[in-house]
């Protein structure tokens, strides 16, 4: 199972393996055992895509298509998530607030669900 959860919510056994995709560790989120997250910042949208998002704030569907294309080309990171999913059963993508209509985490969770299950 692939799911999403706020990075600031307490860790629970049903979370399975927790992954954080932020390019910079979120302020106020403890590192280490308290968070128990695998930091996979390579799954976050690229700098170019984030620039595109800022220039085209009304094109959320275009963002989704571009992000899925980036994920499809990031085979090494996706394979790592597949392996974690196979070993632990559940992968929880940790979320932090994002400004704008971008569904970064839902897009990633949908993509991972389609490729892992």
Q: What integer pLDDT is reported at residue 66 of this predicted model? A: 92
Q: What integer pLDDT is reported at residue 104 of this predicted model? A: 85
Chain segment 65-95, per-residue pLDDT in tens: 999 999 999 999 999 999 999 998 899 999 8
Q: What integer pLDDT is reported at residue 75 of this predicted model? A: 92
CA distances from 54 to 49, 95, 103 (A): 9, 19, 14
Per-residue confidence in pLDDT tens, the chain, 117 aa: 899 998 888 889 999 999 999 888 888 888 876 678 899 999 999 999 988 888 877 777 788 899 999 999 999 999 999 999 999 889 999 988 766 656 788 889 999 999 887
Q: How many CB atoms lie within 10 A of CB 64?
A: 17
Q: What is the CA radius of gyration of the chain?
A: 14
The residues, ordered by sequence, that sit 6+ positions from 99 with a Cβ below 8 Å of its Cβ are none
- Which of 84, 94, 76 minimizes the C-alpha distance to 116? 84
Break the chain into its structural domains and give their ranges.
2-116
């Amino acid at each position: 199972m692939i799911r999403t959860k706020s990075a600031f919510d307490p860790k629970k056994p049903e979370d399975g393996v927790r992954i954080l995709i932020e390019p910079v560790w979120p302020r106020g989120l403890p590192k280490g055992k308290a968070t128990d997250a695998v930091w996979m910042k390579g799954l976050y949208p690229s700098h170019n895509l984030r620039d595109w998002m800022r220039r085209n704030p009304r094109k959320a569907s275009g963002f989704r298509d571009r992000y899925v294309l980036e994920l499809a080309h990031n085979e090494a990171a996706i394979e790592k998530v597949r392996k974690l999913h196979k070993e632990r059963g559940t992968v929880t993508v940790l979320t932090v607030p994002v400004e704008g209509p971008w569904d970064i985490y839902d897009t990633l969770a949908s993509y991972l669900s389609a490729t892992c299950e």
